[in-house]
A and B are shown apart, each in its own frame.
Chain A
Amino acid sequence: MASKVKVATCSLAGCFGCHMSFLDIDERLLDLLELIEFDRSPINDIKTIEGIVDFGFVEGGLCNAENVHLLKHFREHCRVLVSVGECAITGGIPSMRNHHTLKECLYETYIRGVGVENAHIPDDAELPLLLDKVYPLHAVVRVDHYLPGCPPSADAFWHFLTELIAGRDPNLPLQLLRYD
């Protein structure tokens, strides 16, 4: 049997909804595991990719410095990088803060917010710094494929992955791109 395809996944500024939807492929997950092997992923809690994996699936946009580091790590270690879901592709819900300055956002949350005590903006070096705006993935690295949806349906994930594994361009059929 040919060696399994290696897949890594991560979630940046997203809600993990895409990962949850992926798990909705249900019992097909067992068929999938015959074909793929997970590298770094929240599914197995491996934190870094060693060597090169075949496919990287990234959920969520970029809102802070840590997101940028992790995305670059994925780009360097994934042969094919897929931008998954609304937030990764457009910035999504988190990018609604782009209508305001970062200062306005942080003041609203940590200074002027209702019930805030000891008001100050968190400045611990452990915390990743926030970017001025939320950006889509392709603004920072080259992206090979986009898997749209909020979230992409389980069937969309299944179709997309199986096409990729089969070595084809994963074009989603129309019914998997309809959201109404």
Chain B
Amino acid sequence: MSQAVTTQAQESVQQILQKHPRDAGELLQILVAVQHAYHWVSEEAVGLIAEHLRVTRAHIRGLVGFYSFLSDSFLGDYVIYLSDNITDRMLGNKEIGKYLCSRLGVKLGRVRSDGRVSVHFTSCTGMCDQGPAALVNGRPVTRLSRERADRMVDLIMARTPVSDWPPELFLVEDNFRRSDVLFRRAFEPGAALKSALLRGGDETLKAIQFEEAVDPASGIAWKRGADETLKELYRSDLRGRGGAGFKAALKWEACRDTPAPERYVVCNADEGEPGTFKDRVMLSSYADMVFEGMTLCGYVVGSSQGILYIRQEYWYLKAHLEAVLARRREAGLLGRNLLGTGHAFDIAIHWGAGAYICGMESAMIESIEGRRGKPRKRWPLPVVAGVEKRPTVVNNVETFAAVAMVALKGGAWFAGHGTMHSTGTKLFCVSGDCERPGIYEYPFGVSAREILRDCGGLDAQAVQVSGPSGTTITQQEFDRALAYEDLTTVGTFMIFGPKRDMFEVVQNFTHFFQHESCGLCTPCRVGTSLLANLVDRVAAGKGSPLDLEEVQRISHLMKTTAHCGLGQSAPNHLVDSLAKFRGDWDKRMMVGGFEPAFDLDASLEEARQLTGRDDDAAHL
């Protein structure tokens, strides 16, 4: 039972190891490969890897325990993960899960006794506009229905390898519903890079052919092009799209100006914020733009190594992304000789393995270096000491795509869109109760109401802006602007219709954070669990006003003392919900004082049975 029969061209652990250098930093990538080949990381594999990389078994087990998609027990020939975001729940994922389990004859989270299959729930898989979604052996199945579940069950019963399943089961739509200036036209690979290089030449140079303009002998033009591109980036006033909104140009310049033999460019494609799926669409359909942005960054800061850190949920994009990278190498847009200039830049892909925390940049860097994704101390910043303690720029997928357009069309053009302090456009991931969920591009400053009108969701009672760690807005707030001046957002836009119970939203989010807390700091590790317990208590009808006071107290504590953004923002939705949707809480609250956390009388049952007593004193 230790081998997954459905995996084609079964690779031995040794074969996998031979593909990776003897570098402890490769550990996570090796584990991901082993997990895919065997559907678990066996003790035997741990031993072989430990020997190969000269790391301890405990260290390896530490990683297997940390990342959700790694497992120290065999998960079956078919491993099904059902996405459990609130939007999946609203589309009935729980019923589908029950149905799948009963048809497959398997208990949730357990492997069937013949080792065929197991079914699990997992955090949002980034298919919120086409849920309920699942991953089967790493491949996404969207719009799950009973009918589609039946087909999956039949294929599993017939032991059909996933690679032979009908492709329409794995169809993933872009649902790009509205494009603005950045994504209106197809992006021509290399165009932005050429524009940047051309900035190094004077007017005469620009007039002649491109190849002559960047004479490799003339390092001056190369340097000038980089400086001018940075200036354009300053002019664009582009702010990072990951949520914090740090000025990209400042970050790049700080990285460039830190003396070091090598620098890194990291693209954060670990979009784990439930309800977010723009990186998936970017990397499916605009990968060139993203890679070109990274290459431009390498050019400006003087780095020759880019890393795309991408979440495990998007494993199905592996072949596509590798093909795009290969094509760009052939076209001279990556590799040792960028556009014939003699300068090098290449991009490696690093896979995450299921950890929301790895979207936090220093946790991501830890993960890139093959360790558990735990945030580092705030200082030094990655621009000074990031990957391998070298200066590192970490930007989000959408930021790099925007960079490509800034290089192509100029900073002033870019700054002409959006608002004063939030230039350019933003992708919004619209999901939940609306007629047309999908990706919408708007200039910054767009109101929630405008998006709701365009997607057909105007009757909403609430929108969760920027995911569970963001802000819950009510109808009265729909005219607020989505921009750094007002509602900061990574682009997540989950809509809740008039009939939704907002307490269920809270319960979903609270458990998400409890699961995803990395455990590094006590306020977050303990706080997220306490909050989940308190919310469950309210859900069970045992909540008292004291419990709500406790929620507020713990929320405040976490916001002020957690080590990183995860813990600091995890209670946001609770505080919002208590302030704005108190009704959905109150209807669950117990009337009166204090209810014990467990059934007192039932706790005496075992003793009653052991003693055979049933007198008055034997009851509580």
* Nearest neighbor of A120 in chain B, beta-carbon distance: B611
B596, B606, B613: the one within 8 Å of A123 (CB)? B613
Residue numbers of A with Cβ under 8 A of B are 65, 68-69, 101-103, 106, 121-123, 125, 128-133, 135, 139-142
Q: CA of A8 to CA of B605 in the docked complex: distance in angstroms?
A: 31
Which residues of chain B have C-beta atoms less than 8 A from A133's C-beta? 603
Which residues of chain A have C-beta atoms less than 8 A from B594's C-beta? 141-142
Interchain nearest-CB distance for B583 vs A (Å): 25
B597 pairs with A129, CB closer than 8 A: no
Which residues of chain B have C-beta atoms less than 8 A from A135's C-beta? 597-598, 603
Q: What would 6 A/B residue contacts be, using CB atoms closer than 8 Å? A: A68-B600, A102-B607, A103-B610, A123-B612, A129-B604, A133-B603
B contact patch SS:
helix
Q: CA of A101 to CA of B606 in the docked complex: distance in angstroms?
A: 9
Q: CA of A89 to CA of B310 in the docked complex: distance in angstroms?
A: 44
Which residues of chain B have C-beta atoms less than 8 A from A139's C-beta? 596-598
B546, B598, B610, B615: the one within 8 Å of A102 (CB)? B610
B608 at interface by CB-CB < 8 Å: yes
For chain B, the bracket of interface size reads 20 to 34
Which residues of chain B have C-beta atoms less than 8 A from A123's C-beta? 611-613
B167 at interface by CB-CB < 8 Å: no
B607 pairs with A129, CB closer than 8 A: yes
Q: CA of A131 to CA of B602 in the docked complex: distance in angstroms?
A: 9
Q: CA of A9 to CA of B171 in the docked complex: distance in angstroms?
A: 68
Contact status of A142 and B593, CB under 8 A, knowing A68-B600, A123-B611: yes
B593, B602, B617: the one within 8 Å of A65 (CB)? B617
A125 pairs with B596, CB closer than 8 A: no
B620 at interface by CB-CB < 8 Å: yes
Which residues of chain A have C-beta atoms less than 8 A from B615's C-beta? 125
Which residues of chain A have C-beta atoms less than 8 A from B618's C-beta? 65, 125, 129
Which residues of chain A have C-beta atoms less than 8 A from B596's C-beta? 139-141
Q: CA of A85 to CA of B293 in the docked complex: distance in angstroms?
A: 59
Which residues of chain A have C-beta atoms less than 8 A from B608's C-beta? 129
Contact status of A106 and B610, CB under 8 A, knowing A125-B615, A129-B617, A129-B618: yes
Which residues of chain A have C-beta atoms less than 8 A from B607's C-beta? 102, 129-132
Q: A122-B611, A132-B606, A135-B598 are in contact. List 15 more A-B contacts (CB 8 A).
A: A68-B600, A68-B620, A102-B606, A102-B610, A103-B606, A123-B612, A123-B613, A129-B604, A129-B611, A129-B618, A130-B604, A131-B603, A135-B597, A140-B597, A142-B594
* Nearest neighbor of B544 in chain A, beta-carbon distance: A142
A121 pairs with B611, CB closer than 8 A: yes
* Nearest neighbor of B602 in chain A, beta-carbon distance: A132
